[in-house]
């Protein structure tokens, strides 16, 4: 009996439970204990900064192997435990976030390459959707128990330990089957050749800086209750799960066209949040677009890169590093300063960034169709 899909599903479930605690609750926790918006933006740019740097080190000769992966799991556990003592010290907390970023930036690309190699892009969504389930359940549960800042840390540490256990099992099950040639493992990713593609993917993730780091604060500041805000998060994840389950047939179509379409949907999404910050019907519709702007975009992007480049693991590292890393870093810092000085225009700026992503992907598609 092949239990690999079960182990992968379990890893995704707990890994994205971590993400749920981190991006939904931790910004609010930090705001409540006195951190400014710009300080929160800097703190949440630490992990993306690590993601930017690491892929280039691997391109220069480091190997993402079983030993590196297991070390990354240890980094995640130790850094999360350190939150108990660093929460009220900005620089110590920044260091904790950096080490957590090291661990998380090494684990997910490795697991993604294993998933695509082992089960294929058509089945990927049905395994990955358990990550979305974990995200939504931890949000619904934690909102009922969040009495003090350390409650969020309790959840964070627990989810990290459980995801580490299943990540370790997955890698132990498959590492003996790794057959990638030495040539493929050392094939560089031609970033300059495909610069329009990578800029487009990065701008898309930059546009999420406002959402991931400030959506909870933004909506509660506009008079939406915390419970309702969590329902908005949860609804977005429900439609994400549905898309992940049914997207298999879509991913057999032109992946580049899917990327362009989903970035255009994201332009609309952020504009609606900007223009109708207190209109719940519109906000729920905007959240329904998460099925396109995250679920379908993410699956199409990693599948496109998986088939575009020979070095599969490094391609996923760069996707994590450049888009979620550089894009997340710049997006978090930019969102922090915009919300501190021009709060009204936070999500309008995100809409412009997503429009830039659409333009770059259109230019790349035109170049690839007319070599």
Please give the pLDDT value at position 208: 95
The answer to whether 257 touches 365, Cβ cutoff 8 Å, is yes
The answer to whether 113 touches 43, Cβ cutoff 8 Å, is no
The answer to whether 137 touches 233, Cβ cutoff 8 Å, is no
Please give the pLDDT value at position 181: 43
CA distance 313 to 62: 12
Residue 147 DSSP class? -
Q: What is the CATH number of the domain that holds 72?
A: 1.20.1250.20
Residues of the domain holding 63: 4-369
The low-confidence residues of the chain, meaning pLDDT below 50, are: 179-183
pLDDT tens-digit readout, 125-170: 899 999 988 988 887 788 777 777 788 888 899 999 999 999 999 9
Please give the pLDDT value at position 180: 47
Please give the pLDDT value at position 61: 61
CA distance 207 to 199: 12
CA distance 98 to 34: 21
Residue 247 DSSP class? T
Please give the pLDDT value at position 176: 52
The answer to whether 295 touches 250, Cβ cutoff 8 Å, is no
Please give the pLDDT value at position 83: 93
CA distance 271 to 285: 12
pTM of the model: 0.80
- Give the alpha-carbon dihedral of 338, 340, 342, 343, to 10 degrees: 100
Number of domains in the chain: 1
Please give the pLDDT value at position 177: 54
Q: Which residues contact 316 (CB under 8 A, 6 or more apart)?
A: 109, 110, 112, 113, 302, 305, 306
Within a 10 A sphere around the Cβ of 257, how many other Cβ atoms? 12
Please give the pLDDT value at position 352: 98
Within a 10 A sphere around the Cβ of 62, how many other Cβ atoms? 12
Q: Residue 199: CA atoms inside 13 Å, Cβ hemisphere, count?
A: 15
């Amino acid at each position: 009996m092949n239990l690999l899909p079960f182990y992968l599903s379990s890893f995704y479930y707990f890994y994205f439970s971590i993400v749920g605690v981190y991006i939904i609750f931790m910004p609010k926790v930090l705001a409540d204990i006195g951190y400014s918006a710009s300080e929160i933006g800097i703190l949440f740019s630490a992990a993306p900064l690590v993601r930017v740097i690491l892929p280039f080190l691997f391109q220069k000769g480091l190997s993402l192997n079983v030993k590196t992966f297991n070390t990354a799991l240890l980094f995640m556990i130790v850094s999360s435990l350190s939150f108990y003592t660093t929460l009220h010290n900005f620089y110590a907390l920044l260091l904790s976030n950096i080490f957590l970023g090291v661990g998380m930036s090494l684990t997910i690309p490795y697991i993604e390459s294993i998933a695509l190699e082992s089960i294929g892009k058509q089945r990927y969504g049905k395994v990955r959707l358990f990550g979305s389930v974990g995200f939504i359940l931890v949000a619904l549960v934690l909102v009922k128990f969040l009495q003090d800042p350390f409650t969020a840390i309790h959840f964070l540490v627990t989810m990290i330990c459980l995801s580490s256990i299943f990540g370790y099992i997955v890698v132990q099950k498959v590492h003996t089957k790794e057959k990638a040639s030495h040539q493929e493992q050392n094939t560089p990713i031609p970033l300059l050749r495909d610069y329009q593609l990578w800029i487009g993917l990065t701008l898309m993730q930059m546009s999420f800086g406002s959402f991931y780091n400030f959506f909870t604060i933004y909506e509660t500041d506009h008079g939406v209750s915390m419970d309702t805000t969590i329902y908005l998060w949860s609804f977005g994840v429900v439609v994400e799960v549905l898309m992940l389950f049914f997207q298999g047939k879509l991913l057999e179509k032109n992946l580049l066209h899917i990327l362009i379409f989903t970035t255009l949907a994201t332009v609309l999404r952020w504009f609606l949040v900007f223009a109708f910050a207190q209109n719940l019907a519109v906000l729920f519709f905007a959240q329904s677009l998460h099925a396109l702007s995250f679920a379908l975009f993410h699956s199409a992007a990693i599948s496109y890169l998986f088939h575009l480049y020979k070095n599969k693991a490094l391609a996923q590292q760069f996707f994590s590093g450049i888009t979620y890393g550089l894009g997340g870093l710049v997006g978090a810092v930019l969102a922090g300063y915009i919300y501190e000085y021009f709060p009204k225009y936070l999500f309008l700026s995100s809409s412009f960034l997503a429009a830039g992503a659409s333009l770059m992907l259109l230019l790349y598609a035109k170049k690839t169709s007319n070599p």
